[in-house]
Amino acid sequence: MSHSSEPRPMTARRSGALRGVATVPGDKSISHRALILGALSVGETRITGLLEGQDVLDTAKAMAAFGAQVERLGTGEWSVHGVGVGGFSEPEGVIDCGNSGTGVRLIMGAMATTPIAATFTGDASLSRRPMARVTDPLALFGAQITAREGGRLPITIEGVADPLPVRYRTPVASAQIKSAILLAGLNVPGETVVIESEPTRDHSERMLAGFGADIRTETTADGHVITLQGRPELRAQPVAVPRDPSSAAFPVAAALIVPGSEIRVPGVSRNPTRDGLYVTLLEMGADIAFENPREEGGEPVADLVVRHGPLKGVTVPAERAASMIDEFPILSVIAAFAEGVTVMNGVAELRVKESDRIDAMARGLEANGVTVAETRDSLTVHGRGRVPGGGTAVTHLDHRIAMSFLVLGLAAEAPVSIDDGAPIATSFPDFVALMQGLGADLG
């Protein structure tokens, strides 16, 4: 579904201490992968804790269009009867991935080595995002690609019947590129190899191993080398989706900046490839405890206890960027309430997300009285411990920009507005209710 809904202007106001339990939704990355691997397996995959955000619902619909039997059994509880590796059938209509980069890029990979054709579209935001980073390696397998100018959607892929194995070094740190290649490699005889200079989120590797694929990762002088043996029989598995650290970041940030707050956020994934924000917050002096560390659904998780307190500016090294790539918008809000300068390095990829997130955050922070500086691949925020507020941020169909500015408004001196909160439903449909439940004044 593309975003045809009307823009929804929203406002957040200075709030009293936030208290309570913030039960955030299932991890978006893992939810997409559970549906896709379920669809490529033999047997029934039962998923619990699936994120029912629009991005993931679009992937569920796409898996049904490729021939899997996908059924919602209850809240977050889904069943997927897969068709097996190489078993996708040609979809009748266009595959509309809405706002989701993960959805479209992973699904293009998953079908490119099966001899069927499919056309992919998305909303205005997704249609601006670069796709050649995925279609170029898919062409190396032998798939035929037709894209709009600049390698943009809509894209038609004619999958290849006799694919060649591929060894590919990713040009930018991207789990979506890596995952698209690995999913394509499933239906290829021999080894598919992806080499990345910086490790990126490893949910695909973990889940492929869990479904029975032969996949190994080595750290060599050449980088991080992932090798997949093609044509495995993937066996359906139960998947318990852990809670999303990227969604948890919003109530965590709110508790850190609203005086007197103390909240608990249970069962959040602490996968080291996703943990960069939490590492950074501890360096800033944040009061966060990680209680009951345990394993759930093949991922390390913990219960977070977060308390308001003073924060100081820090420099975030470029090597950490991949492990917190979706958290820079909310980190820049937290940084505005810290004392001192926060520099975020190596963040050029933010310019090709749902919006140009460096530009969107810089303009919105300026509109609310915060001093910022940007380069092509860095963002600097001058923290003064307080934020005047009173401005309106333009969100450009970007859920994380929308949520970040609403959190800003909870501790700013004057209310903060956003032009459109509708895209929040792509990743965190219950965001407003959850935040109001903690005592936040927003809506």
Ligand X SMILES: O=C(O)C1=C[C@@H](OP(=O)(O)O)[C@@H](O)[C@H](O)C1
Q: Which residues are catalytic?
A: 326
Which residue, 236 or 324, has its beta carbon nearer to ligand PEP? Answer: 324
Contact 340, 313 (CB under 8 A): yes
- Residue 349 interacts, among ligand X, ligand PEP, none and using kind-specific CB cut-offs from 5 to 8 Å, with ligand X
28 is in an annotated binding site: yes
d(CA 344, CA 328): 8
- Residue with smallest beta-carbon separation from ligand PEP: 101
Binding segment (CB under 6 A) for ligand PEP, from list 84-92, 94-102, 151-159, 369-377: 94-102
E strand intervals along 75-220: 77-81, 95-96, 117-121, 144-148, 152-158, 167-169, 191-196, 215-220
123 forms part of the interface with ligand PEP (CB under 6 A): no
**Residue ranges that bind ligand X, judged by CB under 6 A:** 29, 101-102, 174-176, 179, 201, 325-326, 349
Q: Two tokens at 223? A: 């980088």
Distance CA 196, CA 174 (A): 8
Cα separation, 338 vs 72, whole angstroms: 43
Residue 201 binds which of ligand X, ligand PEP, none (CB < 5-8 A, kind-dependent): ligand X
- Cβ-in-10-Å burial (0-12, 13-18, 19+) of 328 comes to buried
Q: Which stretch binds ligand PEP (CB under 6 A): 97-105, 163-171, 182-190, 196-204?
A: 97-105
Q: Is 101 in the site for ligand PEP (CB under 6 A)?
A: yes
Closer to ligand PEP by CB, 101 or 313: give it: 101
Candidate list 49, 277, 400, 422; residue touching ligand PEP; CB under 6 A: 400
Q: CA 94 from chain center: how many Å?
A: 23
Closer CB to ligand X, residue 299 or residue 326?
Answer: 326
Alpha-carbon 310 to chain mean position: 29
Tell me whether residue 357 is annotated as binding: yes
* CB distance 76 to 277 below 8 Å: no
Least distance from ligand X to the Cβ atom of residue 30, Å = 8
Q: Which does residue 53 bind out of ligand PEP, ligand X, none, counting CB within 5 to 8 angstroms by kind?
A: none
CB of 124 to ligand PEP, least distance (A): 13
Contact between residue 309 and residue 286 where contact means Cβ atoms under 8 Å apart: yes
Find the part of the chain contacting ligand PEP (CB under 6 A) among 3-11, 77-85, 96-104, 363-371: 96-104
By CB under 6 A, tell whether 353 contacts ligand PEP.
Answer: yes
- Using rule CB under 6 A, residue 269 touches ligand PEP: no
The sign of the dihedral angle between the CA atoms of 362, 364, 366, 369 is negative
Tokens for 149?
A: 């100018």
Choices 98-106, 157-165, 337-345, 380-388; region in contact with ligand PEP by CB under 6 A: 98-106
What are the structure tokens assigned to 401, written together? 């920009």
Give me the least distance between CB of 195 and ligand PEP, in Å please.
22
Own/partner pairs for 367-374, CB < 8 Å, 24+ apart? 367/391, 367/392, 367/393, 368/393, 368/405, 368/408, 368/412, 368/416, 370/336, 372/332
Residue 29 annotated as lining a ligand binding site: yes
Q: Give the footprint of ligand PEP on this chain (CB under 6 A).
A: 100-102, 326, 353-354, 400, 427
Binding site for 3-phosphoshikimate: what residues are annotated? 28-29, 33, 174, 176, 326, 353
